[in-house]
Structures are given as C-alpha cells and as structure tokens.
Amino acid sequence: MDRVERAAEVRYASAAELPDALRGADALFVWDFLSTAVPDAWHAADRLRWLHIASAGVDPVMFDELRAGDVVLTNSRGVFDTPIAEYVLGAILALAKDLFHTRDLQREKRWVHRETARVAGTSAVVVGTGPIGRAIARLLRAAGIRVSGAGRRYREHDSDFGVVYPSDSLSEHVGGVDYVIAVAPLTEQTSRMFDRHVFRAMRNDAWFINVGRGELAETSDLIEALDTGQLRGAVLDVFDTEPLPASSPLWTMPNVLVSPHMSGDVVGWRDALVEIFTDNFARWVDGKPLRNVVDKELGYVPSETPSG
C-alpha cells in the first residue's frame, strides 16, 4: 500500500470504525471480503466514488443502495483463476486414484491392492463460465476430461467449453456427466440453484464440487442426496454458514471432502489482491479506465470487459 499512502490519506478501519472512516472518503477498499459491515456503514459514505473488494465475488456488498447509486464497484478478478482450477483438478485426481482411502490404509499399516479409475475420458459440466470457470475447463480438458459449461445463455463452439447450456435449465444437462462443478457468482438467479431437482437429475455415481459460494446449493437437499446415495459424493470448499458448524453432518460423511474456503488461497495471494487494488488506484488517480468494473445489475464483471 506504500504508493497509495504516498498519494492519499489512508484510513485503516475495523467494522466498528468503518462509519467514521467513510466520512469524507473518496474510495473504499474492502479487504475482509466476507464482512457485512459495508451496508450498515453506508449512511456515512457522503462522497464515495469507488468501492473495490478483495475477492472475485461481490455478493457481500451488493445491497440496494450501492446498486442504485453512482459508486463504481470493482473486484479482484484474475487472482484466483488458476489456483481454484488446480484445486478442482487435484480433487478429481485424488478421488479417481483413491488417494484418501490409500492414506487411511497407510495409517492402519494395511497393504490392500486396488484398481483405480481413469480421469481421461470422464466428463464434467462447469456451472459458471467466467474466468475461474474457464481456467477450470482448460485444466480439465488438458487431463482428457470432456467439458461443457452452463451459463446465462446457450451457445456453441465456445473456445473453452464447446457447448454452454443455459443454467436455468440445469437439471436437463447434469445427468450425463461424472463431475458437476459449481463456480457461478452468487446472484438472485443463482442462489440455491443446486436443489433436490438438480441433485436427483445427476447420476448416482457423480460427484458435486462447489468452489463458488455455499449459497449456490440448498444444503439440506445436498445432505439428503449424499445420505440417500443420490450422489456418490461431494467436494465442498464453501458453505452457506462459515466456519462450517461442528453440528453439520457434512463433517463426518465418508463421501464428503470439506475444506475451509481455501481453494484459491495460494502462497502470495494477499499480495496479489493488494496489487490489483494499487494498480486500479493508479488508474483512478490518472483518470484511466478501471480494471474489473462490476455490472451492478448482473452482479459480476461482464466477460467482454477487459480484466487487465
């Protein structure tokens, strides 16, 4: 933040201190991307012109006053694309090669020879066709997995997905694949999009992988699908309540991998987030177009908008 501090008065604030810090401020950098403090402090934003959030998802700051106002919203698109894609491919490889069971057997000092599955030749649908979804698609295709996408509109001949199906008819397109991967932004249209209808449409030997937002899935329906064998299993990095409560049955289900919202957090990620903001700050001061401007009606950066 050195170059920002040399050019502007920078106020660092906790959630409780945010209203006082916002008064007279021209820009706001929301570092705690899960914080809900901004809507409560918005009454004090008397001259704010730009809000930047240190995440790809902007749902924590998508409240009515921000949508209706003139404050420009930008996000940190581009930081997490490759790390999350690597996490998804790593999880699929670990599942196919039975590595979790191998580790359990090792701890028990048991030599149990098994056959494992091939990844090449399997299929996946990636729900969410933004930069993270595209990075996932490219890595999965490199491993020999057949990939399609699901997004707002149907289209063919997509460079990364081949075919993109409309996500509002998701249950019609998940029945033929081995892996259903959720990475869509959280909006009014995508909230709880993975419900019992979608889970029942999936094959009972398919895996559900969520690296987007926990609220994309109806948790009770997911637990039911896992418990009754409608799904083979799930890899979950995000949850509708975080940290995941100790009372959640997801912790102890043998066919579930739980990770603590870390799929995109690789060494150096915090520095990368600050660099996105400081680069945008320099652009803002110079009157140049900002990177990663969010369409506040859509709730994400449109694909045709330059990301850098």
Residue 172 has pLDDT above 60, yes or no: yes
- State what percent of residues in the chain have pLDDT above 70: 98
- State what percent of residues in the chain have pLDDT above 90: 97
Provide the pLDDT for residue 304: 53
Provide the pLDDT for residue 118: 98
What is the mean predicted confidence (pLDDT) over 282-299?
A: 97
Residue 16 has pLDDT above 70, yes or no: yes
Whether the CB-CB separation of 253 and 226 falls below 8 Å is answered with yes
Q: Is 4 exposed, middle or buried (0-12, 13-18, 19+ CB in 10 A)?
A: middle
What is the mean predicted confidence (pLDDT) over 272-283?
A: 97
Superfamily of domain 2-78+267-286: NAD(P)-binding Rossmann-like Domain (3.40.50.720)
Residue 306 has pLDDT above 90, yes or no: no
Whether the CB-CB separation of 233 and 207 falls below 8 Å is answered with yes
Whether the CB-CB separation of 187 and 132 falls below 8 Å is answered with no
3-state SS, one letter per residue, for 259-306? CCCCCCCCCCHHHHHHHHHHHHHHHHHHCCCCCCECECCCCECCCCCC
Whether the CB-CB separation of 204 and 191 falls below 8 Å is answered with no
Spatial distance between the Cα atoms of 182 and 184, rounded to a whole number of angstroms: 6
Whole-number mean pLDDT of the chain? Answer: 96
Provide the pLDDT for residue 308: 40
Question: Considering the domain 81-258, what is its CATH architecture?
Answer: 3-Layer(aba) Sandwich (3.40)
What is the mean predicted confidence (pLDDT) over 67-82?
A: 97
Strands 233-236 and 50-53: unpaired
Provide the pLDDT for residue 307: 42
Residue 42 has pLDDT above 60, yes or no: yes
What is the mean predicted confidence (pLDDT) over 153-177?
A: 96
* pLDDT tens, residue by residue, 213-248: 999 999 999 999 999 999 999 999 999 999 999 999
* pLDDT tens, residue by residue, 182-210: 999 999 999 999 999 999 999 999 999 99
Cα 251-130-169 angle, rounded to 5 deg: 75
The reply to whether 81-258 shares the fold of 2-78+267-286 is yes
Whether the CB-CB separation of 236 and 180 falls below 8 Å is answered with no
Provide the pLDDT for residue 34: 87
50 phi, psi to nearest 5 deg: -150, 135
pLDDT bucket at 97, cuts 50 / 70 / 90: very high
Provide the pLDDT for residue 23: 98
Active site residues: 213, 242, 261
Q: Where are the domains of the chain?
A: 2-78+267-286, 81-258
Provide the pLDDT for residue 62: 95
* pLDDT tens, residue by residue, 114-157: 999 999 999 999 999 999 999 999 999 999 999 999 999 999 99
Q: Dump the DSSP string for 111-175.
A: --------STT-EEEEE--SHHHHHHHHHHHHTT-EEEEEESS-EEEETTTEEEEEGGGGGGTST
